[in-house]
């Protein structure tokens, strides 16, 4: 094919497309009108909702903290009657440090704490009088002391 033939063919296709576009126009009365855009949101209502939801969440957090504190209140009370675990005593050492004596199943445990948490946990041996009475039943505790 030569160049003049290609140009003639392109011109014929162009004329056909232009004629077809004019015939494809919509009939009268079917014009499209886009809907109106919605109104913008009210900034006062948005801020009010934000503040309200934040207040509800803070109140819910406070309620959970109060319930947790109330549930843990009777944890390791002095003189508890359950017989398995009880606080014998506590000695504050200053600087947020303390020594706690805890009685657990008949054994005494010394617990030291400071600002970072638990520092040491030592199971104390039986008192010397009980060990002496067990080793030598005939010896009276306290006998043999120098006057």
Give the residue extent of every domain in the chain.
43-73, 77-135
- Give CA–CA dist 123/119, Å, rounded: 14
Query: What pLDDT score does 16 carry?
Result: 76
Question: What digits encode the pLDDT tens for the residues 22-73?
Answer: 555 656 778 888 899 999 999 999 999 999 999 999 999 999 999 998 887 7
Query: What pLDDT score does 5 carry?
Result: 81
Averaged pLDDT for residues 2-9? 82
Place of tokens 């494809």: 24
- Supply the DSSP string of 74-130, one letter for each residue: TSS-BT-TTSSEEEEEEEEEETTEEEEEEEETTEEEEEEEETTEEEEEEEPPPPHHH
Averaged pLDDT for residues 4-31? 73
Query: What pLDDT score does 52 carry?
Result: 98
Query: What tokens were used for 78?
Result: 């002095």
140 against 70, higher pLDDT: 70
Which candidate, 82, 79, 120, places its Cα nearest to that of 98?
Answer: 120
Question: What digits encode the pLDDT tens for the residues 82-129?
Answer: 668 888 888 899 888 999 999 888 888 999 999 898 999 988 877 666
pLDDT confidence tier of residue 147, bands split at 50, 70 and 90? very low
pTM: 0.37
| Separation of first and last alpha carbons in the chain | 137
């Amino acid at each position: 094919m030569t160049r003049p033939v290609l140009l003639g063919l392109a011109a014929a296709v162009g004329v056909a497309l232009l004629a077809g576009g004019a015939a494809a126009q919509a009939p009268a009365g079917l014009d499209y009108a886009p809907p109106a855009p919605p109104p913008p949101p009210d900034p006062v209502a948005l801020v009010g909702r934000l503040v309200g939801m934040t207040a509800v969440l803070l109140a819910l957090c406070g309620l959970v903290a109060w319930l947790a504190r109330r549930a843990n209140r009777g944890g390791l009370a002095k003189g508890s009657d359950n017989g398995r675990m009880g606080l014998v005593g506590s000695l504050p050492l200053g600087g947020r440090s303390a020594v706690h004596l805890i009685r657990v199943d008949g054994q005494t445990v010394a617990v030291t704490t400071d600002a970072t948490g638990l520092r040491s946990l030592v199971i104390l041996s039986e008192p010397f009088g009980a060990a002496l009475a067990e080793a030598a039943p005939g010896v009276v505790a306290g006998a043999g002391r120098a006057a």
